[in-house]
Chains A and B, each alone.
Chain A
Amino acid sequence: MKNKISEIFRKFLNIFKPTKNKVVRSDDFEQTTYILDDTDKIQNGETIISVKNLEVQFRVRAKVLTAIRKVSVDIKKGETFAVVGESGSGKSVFTKTLVGMLEENGNVSGGQLLYAGVDLAQFVENKDWLKIRGKRISMIFQDPMTSLNPLKRIGFQVAEVIRIHRGLDKKSAKEEAIKLLERVGIKDARLRYRDFPFQYSGGMRQRVVIAIALACKPDILICDEPTTALDVTIQAQILELFKDLKDEFGFTIIFITHDLGVVAEIADRVAVMYAGQILELGTAEDIFYHSQHPYTWALLSSLPQLGRNDEDLFSIAGTPPSLIEDVKGDAFAPRNVHGMEIDYYKDSPLFKISETHYAKTWLLDPRAPKVKRPKIIDEIPERVAAIYTGGDL
């Protein structure tokens, strides 16, 4: 009788238990068969992620905000793909969509997100995502303090991922974790295994986060402003670490940042985003030396490191448009120095400039007036060199 009551009581309690965020154990993973076994067959340089006409919407107080407006891009295996833009341009939303980490009120409202032939946009349940997230696509966030659990020891947090995703036992997971921590450059990893996050410095914490992200040897590593919270010297070290690890582990990096200096340092290809669209896409050389879009020009010429004491910096007037209403025409038109009438009522297509280089501006239409890009962009190499050789040229 007593047992029965307690059983009913337990059942009753179970109703209130959250089922959504169920703890997933390693054996749950054994039962599911992977649809994605052929990702290893993709050769370097072939498309690993193909985004087609992606559209992401958020419901905000009975209104619809379109954060990503028809983005199409192919990301190749083994490359470092950087996404640049000011805040609110949708660069973070874009990468969050890739790992299914959109907030509750957001959803993919159109388009496809093909990862090795599987459409991730069709995923509904968290269970589907768990096969991808962390294991195939890992993510590193801006602030290492908020992505680590302050109450758990560093070693535990690294080993936990290895235990759950790779199914190792505690002891070998620990050995593996120490090896990883040493690889990302933590000295005396064995001694510091039982430290808490607050005992680590900012740069070291970010190294731990990188170790966790790499624990499952992911195909794709998404870095959302990983160095913004760090000092310049530490930032340089972390960027160097990314380059080394990329060669060793052979993953693809999707790098989000607003710092064009960092982009030049690390990226193979660059996408410039504005108001939920890709305005210019090309190799790093295309973007820094042959950019065609007025927005890219504006971003480059407003860089303080290129400024000289006696001249004012270029600054972009106005603010980004609200994405709650439908944006008519080109979203950048009101802030565009070279804006034309057509910008206000018709959105420009993505013009192809070369095999690798695309830009979305009416200026590239044969009927448009010829506009010269600002002088400062042609002077980038000289001005950068001047930083080391001293003041004025």
Chain B
Amino acid sequence: MLLELIIRGITIGLVYALMGVGLALLNGVMRIINFAHGEFYMIGGYMAYYASTMLGFQFYFSVPTAMIITFILGAVVEKLLLSPIHTQEMEKPMDYALIMTFGLLLFFRQLAIKVFGPFRHKPADYITSDVYILGVKISGNEVLAGAVSAILVIGLAIFIKKTWRGRGWRATTQSRQGAKINGVDIGKESWIACGVACALAGAAGALVAPIFTLSPTIGGSPLVKSYEVMAIGGLGSIAGSLVAGLMLGITETLGAFYISSAYKDAIGFLMMGFFLLFRPQGLFGQK
């Protein structure tokens, strides 16, 4: 049973990491808290659902389709609603972003009820057969979600480390002014980073849609998990998000089993509280 719990904790933890890494990227480059992050997860799930049911796409097309659409949506949101943070002289840009993204959360949720309807939907299983890992039976969908999440998080880490754009984002995270002086176009990099962050959330939603199914209100829980991952891993740290996601997934699963499933979500809060009190920079963040 312990092995089964750990394997399940790892698969769900990798999806948490994927959600958290997008938020960490956005926080690093744009220095904002995005309350609507969970809504991009929800939209990604619905896009994958419609891509598979209406267009007959397999998961290797429906998940990228969801990512492309949420990337475009994220970029448009940044250009239209969030760009004043860096194009205008604002006294409290963080407050502006908080209010704007909270408004977006409510808007997307109500819009989803109108457009997608209030009832639950589920795309066809991406992988119909079960997979055995060390003798433990796991659904193919869960293994796929965990594996693709790991690939995307590691891919993003390599992109940020190796490419010019990635270096630009790192520079912006360290010092916006310094990055600007060295030729980084903050406006352009902001909408691209926002699009990428939203696409990662969309990918997470698309990957778990056959597991947890879809409804317009599913964005709340992943948003909370994203913040927990970010607080534990450290603001703006991708490696931190990956480790924090895994820690959170495994601890929650074990805690829910050995302590009480009623406290599953409380375990994440406790971990976040612990880090905020005793190690506010998180696992890999800088003081």
Partners in one complex: no
Residues of A within 8 A of B (CB): none
Residues of B within 8 A of A (CB): none
